[in-house]
Amino acid sequence: MKLLVSGILLAAAMHAQVQSLRLEPGEYRWNRFSVEKTPMAVDCRFRVLQGGATVHMEVLRAVEFRKFIRNREYDMFASTPDGRAGQIQRIFDERGEFAVVVQNDPHGPVALVDLEVRTNLNPPPESLARVLPPQRRLAVILISFGIFFALVTWSGWRLWRAAGATRD
């Protein structure tokens, strides 16, 4: 009985959407998902069944997706390079609406694509390791260097003053 209950709870925590898509040159398709509780693991995969290596995938916030639709400049949450297959695995720690966009290159052939989006409300603890984004990592490094050099300069100045006072 306990095994049945735990199986039902696990199935409720995991959700998968699988779609087969036909993408004309320059065409895109999207799939919406919501992050209502955090942390949530999201695993997005695509595979080109027929066609060239001209397909890529992006994960966008809902606001950025609206910009994408209107052909305005937008920011991506994550993306894959053009290819015959790609995968994005992320732990989402902010709530909101997101879209997975699969797009064929405007100069590419017609592509038949399988898209799979899996969400897991209870990701395994080892997948929760955090890595700072590149911008934040650069900020931490620059601030650390700034503090280090300020302390070295201040200490050197104090030592210089102390050495000059003993000569007099």
Amino acid found at 125:
P
Same-domain pairing of 30 and 108: yes
Please check whether residues 69 and 140 belong to one and the same domain.
Answer: no
**What is the number of domains present in the chain?**
2
Residues 99 and 16 in one domain: yes
Q: How confident is the model at residue 16, as a pLDDT?
A: 78
- Alpha-carbon distance of 47 to 45, in angstroms, equals 7
Residues 92 and 46 in one domain: yes
Q: Are residues 72 and 94 in the same domain?
A: yes
168 in the same domain as 99 = no
Q: Which phi and psi (to 5°) does residue 38 adopt?
A: -120, 155
Helix (H, G, I), strand (E, B) or coil at 67: helix
For 69-136, give the DSSP string: HTT-----SEE--SBSEEEEEEEE-S-EEEEEEEEE-TTSPPEEEEEEEEEESS--GGGG-----HHH
Whether 50 and 124 share a structural domain? yes
81 and 9 in one domain? yes
Alpha-helical segments (H) within 28-61: none
82 with 162, same domain? no
Supply 105's token pair.
Answer: 């290159």
Q: How far, in Å, CA of 44 to CA of 119, rounded? A: 9
Q: Do 104 and 77 reside in the same domain of the chain?
A: yes
Taking a C-beta distance cutoff of 8 angstroms, is the pair 110, 51 a contact?
yes
Q: Please report the pLDDT score of residue 86 as a whole number.
A: 93
pLDDT at 91 (0 to 100): 84
CATH of the domain at 70: 2.60.120.380
Cα 17 to Cα 32, 63, 114, distances in angstroms: 10, 22, 10
Q: Provide the domain limits for residue 83.
A: 2-128
State residue 128's pLDDT score.
53
* Cβ atoms of 103 and 28 closer than 8 Å: yes
* Residues 115 and 33 placed together within one structural domain of the fold: yes
**31 and 101 together in one domain:** yes
Question: What secondary structure letter does DSSP report for 49?
Answer: E
Contact 33, 100 (CB under 8 A): yes
What confidence score (pLDDT) does residue 126 get? Answer: 61
Does the global pTM surpass 0.85? no
| pLDDT digit string (tens) for the chain, length 168 residues | 554 434 443 444 467 788 899 999 999 999 998 888 888 888 999 999 999 899 999 999 999 999 999 999 999 989 999 999 999 988 888 899 999 999 999 999 999 999 999 988 877 666 555 667 788 889 999 999 999 999 999 999 999 988 887 665
